[in-house]
Amino acid sequence: MKIIVVGTGFVGLPHAAVLSEYGHEVYAYDIDHKRIKAYKSGDREEIERYVNEPGLVASVAENMGRYLFFTTDISEIVDGTDAVFLCLNTPPKRDGSSDLSYYLNAAHHLAELLANREQKNRVVLVNKSTVPVGTARLLENIMEEHGVENFGVASNPEFLAQGNAIAGSRRPDRVVIGADSEEDFGILRRVYSQFVNHVRIRYLETTPETAETIKYMANTLLLTYISFWNGVGGRMAESVPNIRMEDLKLGVTSDDRISTWGSYVSNGAGGSCFGKDIQSLIYQLNNAGRSTDLLQAVYNINEYQKTYIIDRAVYEAGFNFNQKTVALLGLAFKKRTNDMRDSAALKVVESLLARGVKAIRAYDPLAMDDARDFWFSPDKNHLFDRITYHASAKEAISGSDALYVSTDWEEFRGLSRTIEMTVKPPFLVMDGRRMIPDFETLVKAGYEYLPVGGTLLKAKAESQKRDNGKVPSKMASELETLA
């Protein structure tokens, strides 16, 4: 099949690479010349600057020039194309709706080219990135407006998690195709022939509107589940001494109907998808005049979760951040990525600065350059000068009064020794990811430990532990306001 993939970001590039592995002739197209130049170079560092996914560089290297081609001009290629996948960025707007400007520009450009093609073979235009319900229909209208002949539209949402894009594309749990005609389903069956009738992969054919809704529901349900653990399991274990979070997880998720994924309490779920998608779904349901109470609560719980532990440090541990130095470990929204979009660390930094910290000493194994770009850009205010960047966790911790662990990087698991070797108590450890399983040794040595999903622990703390059975009244009223 001859395939064009429009947009070569986190969704488009891995998709194009894996399609080319199956012997399709794939043209990966982007208007960003720098990106295309980087991909064409085949150089690992250049490619990973844009999309950092295990297995991606090898796949690109293997297929480039044979089955995979990069271009900034598709005018010559549209003739004879069977399918065009639209993989464009649809960032959230302030009101929660999706900014479709990149998408619409690409759709109109494509429509003009398709309207003037010589070969009038059937071509299917497929929405791959997450777009509001009804966008396939919108795409159909755009094509008709430009006089495109013999085309179909489809929705084929991607369900990949970052860090697993290549493995996930080679072996998805499901392929969802929403289209209008047997002819278009037929074309996509040939594109995805390796997945049709697969014993373990569900291949679902439905309407475009259903496919679009499946994606929003899937992401929103996952976030609802995470918020349930943070907002219920976490709160119980943070309020009542002697609740063991790990046992709570095991006991509840031993039911086959309840997943372990999503049950690790955290300082909130970040990334480019969950927050954006739930906001968009709220916007879409509001537009339809429907209640969004559940989704609004899920969103609020998740956003507040990102800085909740800082409020607990103030109200439960009595920590005064004013003029203190805080080490911040982990900037990316999850381990194994440099992506900081919607990351808890962004809100943590804002909250710490607002509380008057003297300095924030940051470290992340992958996201340091992105963080520098983010916080150093000229339009950011001078408060961001208080952030310094360090080469290791140890260096960041050195000279600090407190530590905040924000990302679940595996290398942070050995932190208790690093802490003991680097700083003397009094020292407060805020663990937003429960990364310090041997916290007891720390506490015995006099450090204070405040984890998500657990009470404040400090040496000689029997009375303290009892007091923590109650949520401090000031905090209780803050939580009520939030609710």
Q: Which residues are catalytic?
A: 273
State the Cα–Cα distance between residues 2 and 271, nearest whole angstrom.
32
State the Cα–Cα distance between residues 376 and 370, nearest whole angstrom.
10
Instruction: Quote the DSSP letter at residue 412.
Output: G
Whether the Cβ atoms of residue 365 and residue 395 lie closer than 8 Å to each other: no
Token pair in block for residue 403: 């530590």
Instruction: State which residue, 266 or 338, has the beta carbon closest to ligand UGA.
Output: 266
Burial (CB count within 10 angstroms: exposed 0-12, middle 13-18, buried 19+), residue 349: buried
State the Cα–Cα distance between residues 238 and 294, nearest whole angstrom.
23
Instruction: State which residue, 226 or 360, has the beta carbon closest to ligand UGA.
Output: 226
CB of 146 to ligand UGA, least distance (A): 29
Instruction: State which residue, 301 or 317, has the beta carbon closest to ligand UGA.
Output: 301
State the Cα–Cα distance between residues 282 and 295, nearest whole angstrom.
7
CB of 356 to ligand UGA, least distance (A): 27
CB of 341 to ligand UGA, least distance (A): 9
Amino acid in the structure at residue 358: K
Whether the Cβ atoms of residue 405 and residue 433 lie closer than 8 Å to each other: yes
CB of 86 to ligand UGA, least distance (A): 15
Instruction: Quote the DSSP letter at residue 272.
Output: S
Instruction: State which residue, 135 or 263, has the beta carbon closest to ligand UGA.
Output: 263
- The answer for residues whose C-beta is within 8 angstroms of residue 140's C-beta and 6 or more apart is 153
Instruction: State which residue, 266 or 351, has the beta carbon closest to ligand UGA.
Output: 266
CB of 357 to ligand UGA, least distance (A): 23
Residues that bind ligand UGA (CB under 6 A): 130, 158-162, 219, 222, 226, 261-264, 266, 269-271, 273-274, 333-334
Question: Residue 93 phi/psi, 5° resolution?
Answer: -95, 170
CA angle centred on 180, ends 175 and 182, rounded to 5°: 80
CA angle centred on 365, ends 362 and 367, rounded to 5°: 70
